[in-house]
Structure 1
Amino acid sequence: MKSISAEEFNHIKDEVLILDVRSAIEYKTLPKIPGSINVEIDELLSNYQNILKDHTSSVIVTVCNAGNRSGQAAEFLNRHGYNAFVLRGGIYGYKHKFKL
């Protein structure tokens, strides 16, 4: 699985598509990365072609709380021809190093 550190991500975050694969409630109530788009993991896995139809050549970084669901999402997207990375440590790891 391709992954990216919080430091690496911080340098490119404005140039990539950030998919937050947490539930809508988590996305609404917990810290989030500015500019991220919330697509729940189940919705992404079942409808990725429609969701990402305008992003076939984009670099995608998937995020969740700690990296488990986003790792599953990135691995799935890479198997389907996308250029996806998981944010190592998730939002909690990122928040620990950079303010949200």
Structure 2
Amino acid sequence: MINIGNRIKEIRKSKNITASMLADQIGVAQSFISGIENGNKKCSLETLDSICTCLDISLAGFFREDAPELEPEFKKLLAASKNLTSQQRELITKFLETLE
């Protein structure tokens, strides 16, 4: 089972964000972030979502320890593809396959 506090600290440090910076971004006290990371405080799903947004990771990505975070270029492609029809996605997939 994932330790939420440790995971927050791990991601935060990998992005060179201090606990104080994270706290300022989501509007809580730095001691609250430290408390979560040390296992002394619990955070709501809403707070965790805010933390993930600040750390530029999805909630799903937060809980997937073994899956690497997508590169920004791939995130853009995924975001753009959400507005496409299934037929448009199929055409793009076929085009990409020709580039292999």
Q: TM-score with structure 1 length normalisation?
A: 0.23
Higher RCO structure, 1 or 2 (CA under 8 Å, sep 6+): 1
Q: TM-score with structure 2 length normalisation?
A: 0.23
Of Structure 1 and Structure 2, the greater strand share is in 1
